[in-house]
Structure 1
Amino acid sequence: MGLVGLAVALGLGAPTASAAPVRPGWAVVAVDQESRSVLLLQSAEELMAYRRPDRLPVVWSWSADRAPDLADLAPAHSWSMPDEAKSRVRNGRRYLLTAASGGLVAAVDTATGGTYWAADTGAANPHSLELLPDGNVAVAASEGGWVRLYAASQGSRSTAHAAYPLPGAHAVHWDGRTRQLWAVGTDTLTALRVGGTPAAPVLTAVRSVALPERGGHDLAPVLAAPGRFWVSTAAHLWQYDPAGGRFTRVRLGDEAAERDIKSVGDEPGTGRLLTAAPDHAGACSWCTSVLRLHRPDGVRTLRGTQVYKARWWASWGG
């Protein structure tokens, strides 16, 4: 089923041809384990005003189940429990970066729906990925306990890679300011230097700092304070300042909303936070159907979904 077919099945209009931000404000991308899809949703303002429980406010979507060029990677199995969705821009083209606990990781050209690069990591439980300026792709896998930098620039199925061991690896982010790859694991936040060549990359640890508490999960740039990072742990939300080497706890309006955050990020220009955390209300104990906004606070329930992560559809890179 193509994008238009999925939209009809969900009771939507035809999705837009591209995944550009919806105005006003920034669109939101969510990875939904119920439909096994990445869903691009309307802006936060429109989400908060939406009162149509029979329809999901989806304007664009993608699923490995409907990607013919991924058939060789057996998405019926490898695309089980999708768990990541990010937007990145490289050389003027926007890419969806997505992963699934079943093993699949992919970078998808949002203009064409075609796959730039993809791989099946097997039982490693990949949780996040990142697109580097040279076209290579970094992947963090929690069960594998590693960060890998794949030579994706060498071909759409390239499996050559450099590796760095990181127990409980859950997230990766490329910091263009310092040209370092940051990764968060169960207990540590690590900065990696990328060396070698695009065809034969090398990863070397530059700095590793202990998290303020266990259970590191998400890692994202603080757009309102360049150089800092959002870091979520099992119990709280933090900001990390590499210049000062300090973690600062971020307090939300409801302390319960700080627990077990799977994804976090601030909206460009406004600074509003968007978080996704399990609501413990459905069959999926690690998912949610509720997206939370902070500063100002607000919630939006997406009926019938089992969302693992939700992010602003914002990009950086070039």
Structure 2
Amino acid sequence: MKYSISILSSILLTAFLHASNARTHWQPEKGKKYIILSEQSKSRVAIADIAASAIVWEWRPAVQPDIEPEHAKWFEAMSDAKPLENGKYILACASGGGVALIRVSDKKTMFYAYAGGNTHSVEQLPDGNIVSASSTGNLMSIFVTSGKDYPEKTVRKDFYLRDGHNLVWDKKRKQLYTVSWNQLKTYRYNADKNNPLLTAVDSVAMPDNGAHDLYRAHDTDLMWLSTHSAVFKVSMQSKKAEKVSTRFGENIKSVSSGPEGYPTIIIRPKEKWWTDEVLDLAGNSIFKQQGLRIYKARWLL
């Protein structure tokens, strides 16, 4: 079969546009399992396909057209990345101080700002505002996300938080949780988008010091807590912590669980604070790629 040059050009152009659209509008395939990685070798958020043992998506601020070049350094050493709205968005932060809301389908940066102070965790509040926790700066920061002139003119409110490493919003009770060193702290949010305020409710001692990760256990009223020497499950209702049996207890950087068929995954550093491998609680390898520097891992759910 022979084609004229114009027809062949049209076919090639259509194929190119289709391929480009496929690259820029990504969505997970049904039946597959994916893990979101805070990946520091390339200062990026990455999504790994478990079955293919490959990274299939990435958001790299250094090459993002909607991140100003001088702001890319804010996202050095990515420290957390959480799925929102059934995986349609990812909320991320970095030790360099940056926080960002990313749309997964086309990698569009919906919002970004600078928290500073070695930012370790970020959470979305019910009105769309974003709260971050920074360890070196000992603070929580709320960013008002309604402004269009971000990040320079973003309104922020700062609150003291010792050794800020983690944040969890409880939709049911409309409260914010964080474990500061060894104290589970609960805050009430005033839900005033343009004048946000957090008010301390209580503080409950946990069984161990050096709190690191605090993350909602999938579809339960529990939270995963990792500390210097152990992993716990913490009840949102009773605030009681129960130690979890795992092969690895010390220095766990993140814990994430899913529905039936999804093992609970952890990040345990092999070098300094990173690893190239995602494990389950029994120590089985779930995903591994040489050269990666993974700091945290979350199921894409």
- TMscore range, shorter length: 0.7 to 0.9
Task: Tell me the CA shift for residue 245 of structure 1.
Answer: 2.7
CA offset digits 1:24-54 (Å, max 9, x no partner) = 34310112111222110013xx16xx4xxxx
Pair 1:273 & 2:264 matched: yes
TM-score, normalised with respect to structure 1: 0.81
Q: State whether structure 2 residue 84 is matched by structure 1 residue 88.
A: yes
Count, aligned residues? 280
CA RMSD of aligned residues (A): 2.3
Which residue identity does 1:137 align to in structure 2? I
2:45 maps to: 38
Out of 100, 112, 115, the position equivalent to 1:121 is 115
Counterpart for residue 64 of structure 2 = 67
Q: Is 1:217 matched up with 2:217?
A: no
- Residue 72 of structure 1 deviates from its aligned partner by 6.0
SS in 2 for 1:216: coil
**1:300 match:** 287
Matched, 1:160 2:160: no
Identity over aligned pairs, percent: 27
1:182 & 1:264 partners in 2: Cα distance? 16
Shift of 1:268: 2.4
Please say which of residues 195-204 and 154-163 is displaced more in the overlay: 154-163
Aligned match of 1:247: 241
Partner residue of 2:176 out of 181, 199, 203? 181
Which amino acid is 2:75 matched to? W
TM-score calculated relative to the size of structure 2: 0.85
**In 1: Cα distance, 2:127 partner to 2:29 partner:** 29
Q: 1:262 to 1:69 in 2, by over 3 A?
A: same
- Whole-angstrom CA distance in 2 between matches of 1:249 and 1:101: 28
1:264 matched to 2:258: no
Letter in 1 for 2:265: L
CA drift of 1:151 comes to 1.0
Q: Which runs of 5+ in 2 are unaligned?
A: 1-20
Structure 1: any 5+ residue segments left out of the alignment? 1-13, 51-56
